[in-house]
Structure 1
Amino acid sequence: MFGLFGLFLSLCVFAYNHFPRDVEKNLEAAFYRIGAELGDAESQYKIGNMYRDGQGVDQDYGTAARWLHRSARHGYAFAQNNLGSMYYRGEGVAQDYRKAFYWTRKAAQKGSAISQNTIAVMYYRGQGVAKDVSKARELFVKSAEKGNSIAQCYLGFIYEDGEGVPKDYAKAMEWYRNSADKGNASAQAAMGEMYGKGHGVPIDKAKALELFRKSADKGNSSAQNDLGMLYLKGEGVPQDDSAAIGWFRKAAAQENIDAQFNMGVMYEDGHGVPQDYELAFEWYRKAASQGDSSAQNKIGMMYSMGAGVPQDYARAVECYMTSAGKGNPKAQYNLGVMYEKGRGAPQDFTKALEWYQKSADNGLPKAQYYLGSIYKEGKEIRQDYAKSEEWLFKAHKNGSKQALNTLAYLLIEQGKKLDDVRKLLEKAVETEPENAIYRDTLGWVMYKQGSYDEALKGLQKASELLPEDDTIRGHIAETYVMLGDKAKAREHWSKAVELRLHSMKRHEDDE
């Protein structure tokens, strides 16, 4: 056996010095094949790798997996690791995370640092084994202390998200920095996000941009997507839809779910590309096929509207249901709408209310506002001012502009908390001085408090901003009544009635 090996080894050395590299590789493959057939574990590992990588032989994942399997059964750690990788990716074998974990752990138990790190990742993600972030962190720490940049990056993820440990942005940034200093593209992208959000460091869009560029230039799809978002929003760079979609496209080509979703948005809205609902649908479909709940909700919306696909309420409900089942609040709200209106499902207000409630509990301002409104009006549900106030206030705190106005009128009707609602409205007017509705509602609160002169000034400013609004005119008229100016009151009442009749006629014409 050794004589035969020696002969082939001599041939390989001769080939290295005298023949083109492809001949050398063919001889090397022949050499390892003979060793593999004779049962040599290292040769089986080597020939398996050559088939996997297409070096010296035609690439053949199936043959690669068979040789690596033989070597792994002999206890060869490198083969066990690579066989685990093939099961993990589904190369030459059916993807099987359990088998991937089994073989990778065997290699890790023999001291393979790469395998130990992979095992940690699988514990972190719950792939092939029950998710155990504490166990993953323990393994990552061992690997990170030896300088492994991947482990250091994952420790950053763990501390940033507070998984199994208290959330700690400073520690997260420390681990990301250690990893990024070694050139880890994922860590550079994560650091960029930290600077962009101001997590553990002051917000610094320029630094975020620098880090995203470094990472994106190495092909990191997350950084490419993040760069696209900076260009889309004009943060740290001039706003540029074309540059944004260029980066989204690069990331999407690597199956980045967020980028695929963003491509859908760009085509749906016509940013940087001509508006194209069919292409938008295709990009959303790609992201949805990877399990993205936002994309699944978007597909439901497109079926519901008939945008890019034939209108199909039943398919819309299916998509919403899939997304809502993952906790997506927008899909939960949309399901509520479908059940309330009987589109794609039997009309059922009880089910509709259940989905609106889930959406509101998950923080969607639109759903919170809707619940507040229906509890206020008592339509299809028992009127409940306390619940209405609770949901309208939550909606307002979460950014709903409609909610503050409706909340104010709810409290005005009850004659309660007028000082509190006045403060909220004054702050809103300060933030949006051109918002006529806020000014009108603030003026009406002042009226209810008996501050008629203040009320009139605010209402007149609201009318200047929105001269065709009959409600504002009516409020001005009532204020003049309290100020004792009946002529002015009649003038504004007449204008309010005229505007209301005109609005009603316009509405009839539209129908």
Structure 2
Amino acid sequence: MMMDIFSKMDSLGNKNNAENWREQYVNALGTLMAEVLKNDTLLFSPLYIVATQLKEVTTVDPLVEPLVWQCVESVLEQFPTFEQQSDFPFLIEEEAVPLFLAAMTGSLSAIIELAHFYREEGLAQWAVKWYEIAAAQQQAEAIYWLGNFSYDGQYCPFDLAFVFTSYEYAAAANFPDGLNNLADMYLRGEYVVQNDTIAFELFHRAAKLGVAESMYTLGFLYENGRGVQQDMKKSNYWYHESAVNGDLFAINKMGHQAFEMNNGELAMTWYLQAAEKFDRHGEFNVGFCYESGIGVEVDIKLAKYWYKRAALQGDSEAKRRLNDL
């Protein structure tokens, strides 16, 4: 690995030579990756994205250098015969190259954004590697995400102790989602002794920082008097705040509440919000409204349309309704 060569040269007192070699190899990356990218099969491999990013590299900060050479090795290991991993070519998002180049400067914020990019593109194996670099620098958000990957057992070993300490670290840094997930562990008694009071305090902190899921859970805790005195007014407040902030469970719940109050139009408005976010429960509820004339005129064609959308996402009741119509 090239990083080993550079490190060895440094240790032998050949720092200038090592820097010269680094510069030469970085400069050669563009030519090398341009050649690699001529292989059409690469279009159907996620390495196409990595190779395209590497092609534009002109400088590499020591913080990210080991991973950059891992990226190069990963590409070259499959060259010239790349394994086709998709029936469709991978597309390069507009931000892909600028994000990579920003990360090459050693900027922790850029490294985190690059990790997010890989995660959102379904390239979790690369996301984890970049999160690990930021986590080694005690970056709370990166540590939080490594906890998530460990909890899922995806590209990180499943380890509840690691998950807990990751969320605990992120929560101590006041990272909103870290607070929420740590609260979940206390609420469920997962790895730690179950404690509603601590869970409530953590959810409340996260909700104040804008976490819609925490707002919903606060509504549940107030409704059921868990970790706090029962208070239906506060429960309804937090359910509504959660819905306004986009939580799909909360949006559907607000629709149910409107339905129970015989306000079909309001119920339909809430359900449609969830359905338009491709939530299968919202889609089913909109279908039911059209079938039953709740808040709208009966329209069996539209009812079938929404039931079909829910059914395609695995909703068994929607499938049954479709068969009955």
**Shorter chain as normaliser: what TM range?**
0.5 to 0.7
- Which runs of 5 or more structure 2 residues have no equivalent in the other structure? 1-55, 61-90
1:192: which partner in 2?
183
- Asked whether the 8 Å contact 1:264–1:283 carries over to 2, the reply is yes
Tell me, in whole angstroms, the C-alpha distance in 2 between the residues paired with 1:290 and 1:191. 27
Tell me whether 1:304 sits opposite 2:304 in the alignment.
no
Tell me whether 1:338 sits opposite 2:325 in the alignment.
no
Q: 1:138 aligns with which of 129, 134, 144?
A: 129
* CA 1:221–1:322: 2 relative to 1, 3 Å: same
* Identity fraction in percent: 25
2:98: which partner in 1?
103
Tell me, in whole angstroms, the C-alpha distance in 2 between the residues paired with 1:188 and 1:124. 21
- Asked whether the 8 Å contact 1:320–1:332 carries over to 2, the reply is no
Tell me whether 1:324 sits opposite 2:311 in the alignment.
yes
- Asked whether the 8 Å contact 1:317–1:335 carries over to 2, the reply is no
1:162: which partner in 2?
153
Q: Which amino acid is 2:263 matched to?
A: D
**Offset of residue 76 of structure 1:** 12
**Offset of residue 162 of structure 1:** 2.7
**Offset of residue 313 of structure 1:** 2.4
**Offset of residue 139 of structure 1:** 1.3
- Asked whether the 8 Å contact 2:310–2:318 carries over to 1, the reply is no
**Offset of residue 118 of structure 1:** 1.0
RMSD of the alignment, in Å?
2.5
Q: 2:116 aligns with which of 96, 113, 121?
A: 121
Counting only pairs closer than 5 Å after superposition, residues 280-291 of structure 1 correspond to structure 2 as 280-291=267-278
**Offset of residue 210 of structure 1:** 0.8
**Offset of residue 258 of structure 1:** 3.2
Counting only pairs closer than 5 Å after superposition, residues 104-503 of structure 1 correspond to structure 2 as 104-126=99-121, 131-269=122-260, 274-327=261-314, 331-339=315-323, 341=324, 343=325
- Asked whether the 8 Å contact 1:261–1:287 carries over to 2, the reply is yes
Q: 1:454-486 CA distances to partner (integer Å, 9 max, x unpaired)?
A: xxxxxxxxxxxxxxxxxxxxxxxxxxxxxxxxx
- Asked whether the 8 Å contact 2:59–2:105 carries over to 1, the reply is no
Q: Which amino acid is 2:293 matched to?
A: G
Tell me, in whole angstroms, the C-alpha distance in 2 between the residues paired with 1:100 and 1:225. 33
Tell me, in whole angstroms, the C-alpha distance in 2 between the residues paired with 1:154 and 1:218. 18
- Asked whether the 8 Å contact 1:260–1:284 carries over to 2, the reply is yes
Q: 1:396-436 CA distances to partner (integer Å, 9 max, x unpaired)?
A: xxxxxxxxxxxxxxxxxxxxxxxxxxxxxxxxxxxxxxxxx
Q: 1:69-99 CA distances to partner (integer Å, 9 max, x unpaired)?
A: xxxx9x999xxxxxxxxxxxxxxxxxx9811
Q: Which amino acid is 2:107 matched to?
A: S
* CA 1:277–1:235: 2 relative to 1, 3 Å: farther
Q: Which amino acid is 1:323 matched to?
A: A
Q: Which amino acid is 2:93 matched to?
A: R
2:95 is paired with a residue of what secondary structure?
A: helix
1:314 is paired with a residue of what secondary structure?
A: helix
Q: Which has the higher helix share?
A: 1
- Give aligned pairs, total: 239
1:183 is paired with a residue of what secondary structure?
A: coil
Tell me, in whole angstroms, the C-alpha distance in 1 between the residues paired with 2:224 and 2:143. 31
- Asked whether the 8 Å contact 2:308–2:318 carries over to 1, the reply is no
Q: Which amino acid is 2:143 matched to?
A: Q
* CA 1:148–1:255: 2 relative to 1, 3 Å: same
**Offset of residue 336 of structure 1:** 2.2
- Asked whether the 8 Å contact 1:196–1:203 carries over to 2, the reply is yes
**Offset of residue 275 of structure 1:** 4.2
Q: 1:435-454 CA distances to partner (integer Å, 9 max, x unpaired)?
A: xxxxxxxxxxxxxxxxxxxx
What TM-score results when the alignment is normalised by the length of structure 1? 0.44
Q: Which amino acid is 1:183 matched to?
A: N
Tell me, in whole angstroms, the C-alpha distance in 2 between the residues paired with 1:183 and 1:215. 8
Bigger relative contact order (CA 8 A; separation at least 6): 2
Structure 1, 250-259 or 314-323: larger mean CA deviation: 250-259
Tell me, in whole angstroms, the C-alpha distance in 1 between the residues paired with 2:191 and 2:258. 35
Q: Which amino acid is 1:210 matched to?
A: E
1:121 is paired with a residue of what secondary structure?
A: helix
- Which runs of 5 or more structure 1 residues have no equivalent in the other structure? 1-72, 78-95, 344-511
